[in-house]
Structure 1
Amino acid sequence: MSSTRRLPMDLAYLQNPRGTAQWDKYTLCIEGQRIFLHSGEFHTFRLPVPDLWLDIFQKMVAAGLNGVSIYIHWGLTNPAPGVLDFDDWRDLQQIFKAAEQASIFIVLRPGPYINAETTAGGLKRAPNECCRHRRVLDATMPDQISDGRSLIAVQVDNEYTQSPIQHAKYFAQLEATYRSNGIVVPLTYNDPGEGRNVINGTGAVDIYGVDACPQGFNCSSPTTWGPVVTNYHSYHEEVNPSTPWYMPEFQGGSSDTWGGPGYDACEVITGPDFRDVFYKQNWASNVKMTSYYMFYGGTNWGGIAAPVVYSSYDYGGSLRENRALPPKFDELKRQGLFLRSSPEFRKTDWIGDSSTGVLVTSTNDAIFVALLRNIDTGAQFVIVRQANSTSTSNIAFNLTLSTSAGTLTIPRTLSSGIQLNCRQSKVVLADYTFGNLVHSNKLLYSTAAVLFAGSIGGIDTVFLYGDTNQGHEFAFSSGSSQPTTVAFAPGFKTSLQVVSSPKSTAGPLVLWADTQTASTFFAPAVPTGAATFTNYWQFGTNETVLVGGPMLVRNATVSGSCLALRGDLNASTLLTLMVPASVSAVSWNGADVPVRGVCGAAALPGAKLLEGQLGFSLGRGSISVPALAGWRFKDSLPEVQSGFDDANWTVADHTTTNITTKPLFGDGRVLYGCDYGFCENIVLWRGHFNGTGCETSVNLTINGGTAFGASVFLNDVFLGTTNSSASVEQINTLYSFLTVRPRLGQTMLLQLFRMIWVTTSPPMAGRRAAGRGLHTGLHTERSPRGILGFQLNSGNFTTWKVQGKLGGYTNYPDKVGGVLNEGGLFDEREGWHLPGFDTFSWAPRALSSGLPNGTASVGLFVTTLSLIWKNTRWHTETRPVHTTWTAGHIPLSWTIQTNHYELYTSMYYFRPDIPLLVQSVLPPMRHVQICTTPHRNILGWHRNRITRTFLIK
């Protein structure tokens, strides 16, 4: 297996004597070892199925990440004053359990404010931080690295400013709360840009970081780039040179807005080439702590989303919303395995770059060069890119640099030079040591990339790779021997090759492959059971094997002579292994795999190369996807029917509000949903007035957040619908009574059925809005949701009543989905969407028939389904009880695309997408909690017809 070097540390400069998580100007240090914190963001509240979190964490580790950044949503865990909810999927211990099972460290970001394009930035309706924060601290204090657990840092708030002084004191108060409640790990901060906040003075944190999304959030032109940011190093040296250079949120994808191009485009704009250039530019700036926002985005179910985003939060991340691996995952894995394999890279000094003068020269002025050097070992990392980072040209050059063998111009034998094709960056290595310190095997230089470096079966191994349309050259040596130079001209063979086979364990094994082949390899940690962090790479184990071929390798164990692998396939593949010589048997997901020695490979001392075949089929008999048939229907808008009793509705008679924006017109009554306990999802209003015969219209100003809709009825007559846009959150509309005239003495009901997307919690000043990257003023999150103005052309309303989610903020019955899951529709208040509700007596009605009578209304279509899943161990890892059903869509064809739809699946509510504002009109069943045990799964489909005609196919 593998043994990676542990370099000595100068402990005199480490900060934080309180715990075992320490730091100096270079890196974070865990258990006395430096780490390059390589992390990704994951919001567990956007995947409320704890059984699936391990899948996300395992994919992070497979990509070479060692950390995960976790937001805790305040509004979900503290729904009302004095009410704390850490039950079910909100239980923090389930996060730590899954992370430790996958062997990944946690940076916890508990807010209070988180942004994350979530409702009110994660703030709750009535802020009272102390109680909730102490509960979070009580739950996480035992999980710190100082107690042998996975928590290595806690972020203080998010995207805030240090001035005026009240802000700094607020930070100091939060920090004092953390420390007084037993938090000993470093306290960090995420500055929204180069704002110099909380680095020094009152409220200063331990490790300061910068939030950076250099490509922005417009995916409409995914091949159009902005340039790399070139001042990261100088900024860090100016403001906080004594701590590691940290980027808590570096761009890993992009949010998409209403009317945007969709997340496929967002994946492209932050795709493999973006990661190659921009992530390595961060390396060139000597960044040693980074987290990618997002690694996995998830789904905006219920009322989680801010109004600027729709139901998908795919983000174009390293995992797609269905948890599939996109091409950019491979680039992240190539970088992650290199960082994991390169302990010398963890302690480097920035020597210079092309803008300041550097001890590396290029034959091409179109190249930008940065030089990092490990002052202890002399290892050099020359990071090259095009000077114009947006260029799509192909360029070639040679580099001249100083090495332990003297000044060299490389490549020395290739006429093609070093090549950058289009948008590409490379790390050229010099005096790079790999494997065991005793053997001192070294790459004198390499223009090829390192996928893996370590020791397997006692053999020092380096795995190099490069693109087939480029030339690559490297020179390696062992001990005092003369360097051996190897060159591959463009067009080389595309397969794994053994470049050098050692005669003894002191010699190096050099493997070579093209980039595509190298990308199929994984290096899973093999637990040894000898340390506290048994499965954690670098801490509990430095043992590994190389596994090539599968789509994903989740983990590996060695027992005696048997190597047991678990992972996933998407095609039949050749399995290639580099394993200790003691391994003679291999299994894949519990099934034996016949293996043999790789044809033509020389015998190796202590290790061997094996190959076998992994077969794959779709398993037609193993998965039964049910047809969505047998639909039943019931009307869900009885409020417009004569005789409907609203006696139990809340009387809306407030005349004051804490919301900064006051009513625009009316009679002084405040008609804001949050003032009556109904902030999220669908809210219904009823305005009573006595007819005089003179009323001909009503003027309403409605605020529901961007992309909201509101339908208005007079008694049972539909007056019309107001639809906002992706940029408008408030609309004034005059509704005419031409089709129904009130009569003298008649009691009239103006009924407003409002689609509302975001709660409104009082924020603190100076932070960013729920749209990432935008600074806002004092009252952004206090934008009112409701009716800001109401006026009949003649006369006045006698009574206003409001109804939202059943139980409001304290007595809502859905304790699993939580406070943001449901809205105020009649079927939601009656529980029609919940598992176990009997709909047998409902009228059968085909989904394609639409709503009855062609009138504007709301209806609920319901069907049940049973998902039959027979696990096939050979093809894929056995799934947990709850799985993601990604096979089905309900395709819709609209004649008038101003309809709204909502989807309930086994209780969880998937918020509306609006065809006018979202390119796709296919509502996917995203991450639905479908039970694979013999239970009925309820599929509920709301139709909110706010225009007269439509067709469902």
Structure 2
Amino acid sequence: MNPDTWPANALATYLTETHLENSPTTPFSYIEFQGGSFDPWGGWGFAQCLELVGYQFERVFYKNNFASAVTIFSIYMTYGGTNWGNLGHPGGYTSYDYAAVIKENLMVDREKYSEAKLEANFVVASPAYLTSVPGNLSNTSYTTTSRLSVTPLLDDESDTKFYVLRHANYSDRVTTPYKLTIQTSEGDLTIPQLDGELTLHGRDSKVHVSDYVVGGHNVLYSSAEIFTWQSYGSKTILIVYGGEGEQHELAVSNGGQGTLSEDDGVQMGKRNGATVLNWSTSSSRRVVQLECGLTIYILDRNSAYNYWVLKLPDENGLYAPSGQEASTVIVKAGYLMRNATMSGDTLNLVGDFNATTDVEVIGGAPVNLATLNINSQASEFTQDEYGVASTSVSFHPDISVPLLSSLNWKYIDSLPEIKPGYDDSLWRNADLPQSYDDKINITTPVSLLGADYGFLTGTLLFRGHFTANGNENDIFLETQGGSAFGSSVWIGDTYVGSWAGNDAAANGNDTYTLPNLQSGTEYVITVVVDQQGMDENYVVGENEMKSPRGILRYRLSGHAATDVSWKITGNLHGEDYEDKTRGPLNEGGLYAERQGYHLPGAPIDSWSSSGGPTEGISSAGIAFYGAELELDLPAGWDVPLSFTFTNATSADALGSSASAYHVQLYVNGFQYGKYKNHIGPQTSFPVPQGIWNYHGTNYIAFALWSLEPDGAKVEGLELTVNGRVKATFTLFSWVNG
């Protein structure tokens, strides 16, 4: 609700002590540290979560972890997922994007991703960090202001020191100037020495270093943060960066004369034999060539996001683990570089591009590069006197997808169970006098819980048979399906009401008024329960996973409970499910699902023509729509596609007066969305590339369940292109790249 508000006292500074008290002989591990944020039904959406735990959160909290010298750092989660084929648990909706560094649709355009990349590369390039020991946090020992806190990390095996700096009030938004006093092999120094003051922006943190060794050269100190360094023969490349408008200073012991080979704005001087560089961060790249053989790239942070360190495999196609000697290339190339291989004087790069992009190989290319292939295509390039190879990748997307409103939609009723004469003889008899679930004592004559009959996922249907006596005025029902579930009730083919549900209610009850029933006539009560899946066992000993799904209580006026005999069905054949490809969670008990109409090859030609889900239905019920969708997307391109409910209104704005309806969507048989217009918050449903046929026919289907007597229609629905990314995608390039 207030994603820009960070709570007080939430930054742990006792982690090292806790580790040493509990397990001093094991590696210091953070397992499943916060990488995003969960969002429930009726929540504020992952965009708000991203604002709360985005790139600023990473800078402050992750670097605070570095300040405690963590050596195993596991993040939950690295990339967002999707609860396809019903839900992973009822508390969450279809999207499990989690505001992770990589989006649910696998786009990497969040700044949070780029910040994580900077920090990860720094750790990989800093072996001294792994043997460092934290000192005491101080607000007075290292800087000229008590507004800042510094934790030193000292390496027992070298002179290298790390200084993790942040605001004492970690959520502070102010920009604070300071000078930093550090220990070096040349004695204690206060920096900057040449000019100005250092600055720390609000909700930021930095790792300053001293006596930091790069390829045999000693960086006496650097206030600018290290992205990476790599050695290539007699040449070593160091890349440093700073935030917008910050003053920085870096010194190299015995660096010799410095030459600014690119741009200007770097002041140079000598102090006690060290070459000192001082600058104000700019969007213009500065490159300094030192006489000692060290080349320093000086970047602003936003530019550093576009640099990639790619390992080269050995002759057996294997990659050296991080921290060991490995051949690499350093590439500036924008959106995403996946991997690189080298054969003689030929360099092959694989990457994704979402715009026309200048590509530079600033380190690791053969001195006399003959061929530069990008995504298997030869590129014209130039190579300068420093060995930097430059080229450009053109991006001219020609991508279009059909309008869903233009498809030849077909319709079939997915609630024939309420029609006169419907035959439920093949349904399971609900006749268990007790439940197998020891968490509940049933209060109905027989169990009406789906799990007792092998129906564990998706929609449940119940048919209660009874003979009217003329005294039936109403029916009371309590159903349970998990957060945001719904249920609807019919007598014969007459709709009597629904429990529309809300974000918090796992169960709901209501008393529904009945029409006049004719004494002596047999009637059927049909109950549809949109169960949301089983709960997680989150609290030890609570056994939440045993919370039942189905009908908990009922009362038919004028009748004993035993006057009603029940039938139950769910997904086809329950636990002995048919679809071994898509698995046991993919489908529920809707009529269309039990008939396999969500699968490719459904006999839609025999169905009625329709305008599709945006035309909707005029009464309470469940409509099922199918259509074929032809795609012709460029070969070799990764084009994330989503279904977007374009005229959707937030659940908060809709309020209790909203027309309630649920939608399930399917692509080539895979269920990839549960949309609930009156609850929210999800309105866009990504479907991954592997589900689509990019160059041919796709079968898409929608189940529309109106929980209102006047029916419902989807106000707007589009197939949207979330990103336009040119790529050569292979599993191994992703893993190793």
Cα distance in structure 2, aligned partners of 1:237 and 1:582: 53
Matched with 1:868 is: 632
Letter in 2 for 1:613: S
Shift in Å, 1:221: 1.5
Shift in Å, 1:750: 1.0
Cα distance in structure 2, aligned partners of 1:478 and 1:576: 29
- Residue 509 (structure 1) aligned to one of 287, 295, 312: 295
Letter in 1 for 2:198: I
- Residue 630 (structure 1) aligned to one of 402, 408, 421: 408
- Residue 273 (structure 2) aligned to one of 482, 485, 494: 482
1:923 to 1:566, Cα distance in 2 relative to 1, 3 A: closer
- Residue 497 (structure 1) aligned to one of 268, 286, 290: 286
> Does the CA-based 8 Å contact 2:461-2:589 persist in structure 1?
yes
Shift in Å, 1:920: 4.6
Shift in Å, 1:564: 1.1
Alignment of 1:2-41 (within 5 A): none
1:377 to 1:885, Cα distance in 2 relative to 1, 3 A: closer
1:340 to 1:540, Cα distance in 2 relative to 1, 3 A: closer
Question: What per-residue deviation string (whole Å, max 9, x for no partner) do you get for residues 470-510 of structure 1?
Answer: 10001012589921100003xx44233221244xxx62222
1:918 to 1:798, Cα distance in 2 relative to 1, 3 A: closer
1:287 to 1:647, Cα distance in 2 relative to 1, 3 A: same
Shift in Å, 1:897: 3.2
SS at match of 2:605: coil
Matched with 2:730 is: none
Matched with 1:683 is: 460
Cα distance in structure 2, aligned partners of 1:848 and 1:715: 25
Shift in Å, 1:331: 0.3
Question: What per-residue deviation string (whole Å, max 9, x for no partner) do you get for residues 883-920 of structure 1?
Answer: 66416535456894311111011011134221121135
Cα distance in structure 2, aligned partners of 1:711 and 1:802: 15
1:561 to 1:929, Cα distance in 2 relative to 1, 3 A: same
Matched with 1:190 is: none
- Residue 562 (structure 1) aligned to one of 325, 333, 346: 346
Larger Rg: 2
Alignment of 1:789-938 (within 5 A): 789-796=553-560, 797-810=563-576, 812-847=577-612, 850-852=615-617, 854-871=618-635, 878-879=636-637, 885-886=640-641, 888-889=643-644, 891=646, 896-925=658-687, 929-934=691-696, 936-938=697-699
Q: Which runs of 5+ in 1 are unaligned?
A: 1-219, 764-768, 770-774, 872-877
Matched with 2:423 is: 645
Alignment of 1:660-809 (within 5 A): 660-663=438-441, 665-667=443-445, 669-737=446-514, 740-759=515-534, 769=538, 775=539, 777-796=541-560, 797-809=563-575
SS at match of 1:523: strand
Shift in Å, 1:928: 6.6
> Does the CA-based 8 Å contact 2:255-2:290 persist in structure 1?
no
Aligned residues: 684
SS at match of 1:475: strand
Cα distance in structure 2, aligned partners of 1:560 and 1:589: 18
Cα distance in structure 1, aligned partners of 2:513 and 2:294: 84
Matched with 2:398 is: 619
Letter in 2 for 1:302: G
Q: Which runs of 5+ in 2 are unaligned?
A: 257-271, 650-656, 716-737
Letter in 2 for 1:593: S
Question: What per-residue deviation string (whole Å, max 9, x for no partner) do you get for residues 533-570 of structure 1?
Answer: 71244478611111113311111111111211110111
Alignment of 1:374-453 (within 5 A): 374-415=155-196, 417-435=197-215, 440-453=216-229
If the length of structure 2 is used for normalisation, what is the TM-score? 0.89
Question: What per-residue deviation string (whole Å, max 9, x for no partner) do you get for residues 722-777 of structure 1?
Answer: 0222221111211111xx2222211111110110001368x5xxxxx2xxxxx454
Shift in Å, 1:351: 2.3
Cα distance in structure 1, aligned partners of 2:209 and 2:648: 56
> Does the CA-based 8 Å contact 2:357-2:394 persist in structure 1?
yes
Letter in 2 for 1:916: H
> Does the CA-based 8 Å contact 2:312-2:327 persist in structure 1?
yes
Letter in 1 for 2:285: L
1:676 to 1:732, Cα distance in 2 relative to 1, 3 A: same
Matched with 1:339 is: 123
Matched with 2:46 is: 263
Alignment of 1:325-336 (within 5 A): 325=108, 326-336=110-120
Letter in 1 for 2:472: E
SS at match of 1:522: strand
Shift in Å, 1:464: 1.0
Shift in Å, 1:465: 1.2
> Does the CA-based 8 Å contact 2:482-2:535 persist in structure 1?
no
SS at match of 2:18: helix
- Between Structure 1 and Structure 2, which shows a larger proportion of strand residues? 2
More displaced stretch, 279-288 vs 941-950? 941-950
Matched with 2:376 is: 590
> Does the CA-based 8 Å contact 1:446-1:475 persist in structure 2?
yes
Matched with 1:654 is: 432
Letter in 2 for 1:298: G
SS at match of 2:451: helix
Cα distance in structure 2, aligned partners of 1:689 and 1:370: 75
1:665 to 1:705, Cα distance in 2 relative to 1, 3 A: same
> Does the CA-based 8 Å contact 2:144-2:180 persist in structure 1?
yes
Shift in Å, 1:661: 3.7
> Does the CA-based 8 Å contact 1:312-1:321 persist in structure 2?
yes
Question: What per-residue deviation string (whole Å, max 9, x for no partner) do you get for residues 108-137 of structure 1?
Answer: xxxxxxxxxxxxxxxxxxxxxxxxxxxxxx
> Does the CA-based 8 Å contact 1:350-1:372 persist in structure 2?
yes
SS at match of 1:705: coil
Cα distance in structure 2, aligned partners of 1:706 and 1:746: 37
- Residue 543 (structure 1) aligned to one of 304, 311, 327: 327
| Percentage of pairs with the same residue | 29
Cα distance in structure 1, aligned partners of 2:535 and 2:145: 56
1:787 to 1:928, Cα distance in 2 relative to 1, 3 A: farther
Alignment of 1:259-298 (within 5 A): 259-298=42-81
Matched with 2:266 is: none
Letter in 1 for 2:610: R
Shift in Å, 1:838: 2.4
* Root mean square deviation, CA, Å: 2.2
Matched with 1:189 is: none
Cα distance in structure 2, aligned partners of 1:826 and 1:432: 67
Cα distance in structure 1, aligned partners of 2:203 and 2:565: 64
Letter in 2 for 1:559: S
Question: What per-residue deviation string (whole Å, max 9, x for no partner) do you get for residues 853-901 of structure 1?
Answer: x221111111011211232xxxxxx35xxx6641653545689431111
1:328 to 1:587, Cα distance in 2 relative to 1, 3 A: same
